[in-house]
Structure 1
Amino acid sequence: MNFLEKITGSDMTKEMKGFEARAKALPAEYQTAWKEITSNIWIHGDFTGRNLMPILDSALELLEVTSADGQSIEEVLGEDIKGFCAALVGDEGAKTYRDKWRNQLNKNVARKLGGLK
């Protein structure tokens, strides 16, 4: 990846287009699950989202393999796709980018207020 790709995110765009092309080959219920996974997993990303690309690739590979085996989506992911996504990125209590920003803001405010004493 060169500097321009890293700044513009074009490498991630290419990778996501590849993921979407692979997902279109899945059965309809798997495609719906893939859309839910992608919409629920982005909140766990860092500023760029690059940390999620290997996770998305693995999740899509899981869907491809299990659809080829003829398993239903409920057998693979269960009923709670949000919980599945949280488990992919860490624990049930995985921090989102909002949690990280809130924590950083609280630390900055506490530091500034602590300096006023």
Structure 2
Amino acid sequence: MSFWEKVTGSDLTREWQAFEARAAALPADHRAAWEQIRGQLLPHGDFSGRSLLPILDAALGLLEEAAADGQSSHEVLGDDIAGFCTALAGGEGTRTYRDRWREQLNRNVARKLGRLGG
């Protein structure tokens, strides 16, 4: 990946398009599971989403293998897709980008109030 691709995110666009093309080839129940997985995992990514690409690739690969083996998405993922995604992201209590932004905002406000109050 070149510096320009990293700055502009054009490499990410290509990867997302490849993910979507792969997902479009899945059976309907696997596509629906992919949409849920994607929606559950995106908040755990960094600002660009680069940190999630290997995880999303593995999850999509799992769905592709299940479809090729004739298994339903329910057989592979179970009833709790949110729990499956939590486990993929690192477990319960894993920080999301919202948590990091909230902490940064709180630190900045506390620092500004400390300067004003002191």
| TM-score, length-scaled by structure 1 | 0.90
Which residue pairs with 1:91 in the alignment? 91
1:40 pairs with 2:40: yes
Matched residues, number: 117
> Identity of aligned pairs, percent?
62
Gaps of 5+ in 2: none
In the TM superposition, what are the counterparts of 1:62-77 in structure 2 within 5 Å?
A: 62-77=62-77
- 1: CA distance, partners of 2:40 / 2:10: 22
- 2: CA distance, partners of 1:44 / 1:11: 20
- 1: CA distance, partners of 2:87 / 2:59: 11
- 1: CA distance, partners of 2:114 / 2:28: 56
1:104 pairs with 2:99: no
- 1: CA distance, partners of 2:100 / 2:76: 30
Which residue pairs with 1:22 in the alignment? 22
| TM-score, length-scaled by structure 2 | 0.89
Superposed structure 1 runs of 4+ greater than 4 Å apart? none
Deviations 1:17-57 (A, max 9, x none): 11111112211100111111112211111011100111110
Displacement of 1:97: 0.8
Deviations 1:65-104 (A, max 9, x none): 1222222211211222222222111112111111111011
Displacement of 1:114: 3.1
Q: CA RMSD in A?
A: 1.4
